Amino acid sequence: MMALQKTLSLLLLLLLTLLGLGLVQPSYGETMYQRFLRQHVDSTQKGGTSSYCNKMMQTRGMTRPRCKQFNTFIHADIGAINDICEAQNIQCKNGKMNCHEGVVRVTDCKLTASSPRNCRYQGQGSSRHVVIACDGDPLVPVHFDG
């Protein structure tokens, strides 16, 4: 029991240290750009599987307080995604004209089952057209529109 308390204390200290250094941020303090990166960008993996989706949706905080129904991860570096923001403006689903389209490798994660604290996803990888909304100066991605 004492060892468990010591481990939990060390983990809490580590989390507080990381928060203090700005390496981990609580979701309520995110900019729209940071939220976009957390929810939609993974340049380190190819994805494409259900196990990938199950892991990433949980790791990236999209299973609390409830399971997110659908999410897309883009498998490109942020430079390539920022380049999409330089493409011609097109209309977003909300009617604004700050969306841009490009082709990238993605993994779509669709919720297939959920119970308290257990979200299960089906993953499918492909290369396809995506639409993202961009804002700021310079333009950066802030919303995945489709």
pLDDT band at 48, cuts 50/70/90?
A: very high
Residue with the two structure tokens 């259900």:
50
CA dist 107 and 40 (Å) reads 9
Same domain, 39 and 16: no
Domain that residue 63 falls in: 31-144
Same domain, 8 and 39: no
Same domain, 17 and 68: no
User: Is the pTM above the cut of 0.85?
Assistant: no
What integer pLDDT is reported at residue 144 of this predicted model?
Answer: 97
Contact 71, 62 (CB under 8 A): yes
Same domain, 65 and 16: no
Q: Based on the structure, what is the number of domains in the chain?
A: 2
Same domain, 43 and 14: no
Contact 58, 119 (CB under 8 A): yes
By annotation, the residues acting in catalysis are 40, 143
Same domain, 17 and 75: no
Same domain, 16 and 60: no
64-102: per-residue pLDDT in tens? 999 999 999 999 999 999 999 999 999 999 999 999 999
Same domain, 59 and 108: yes
Give the mean model confidence (pLDDT) for residues 24-32.
70
Strands (E), the chain: 70-74, 99-115, 118-135, 140-144
Give the mean model confidence (pLDDT) for residues 43-50.
94
The 3-state DSSP class for residue 62 equals coil
Same domain, 65 and 126: yes
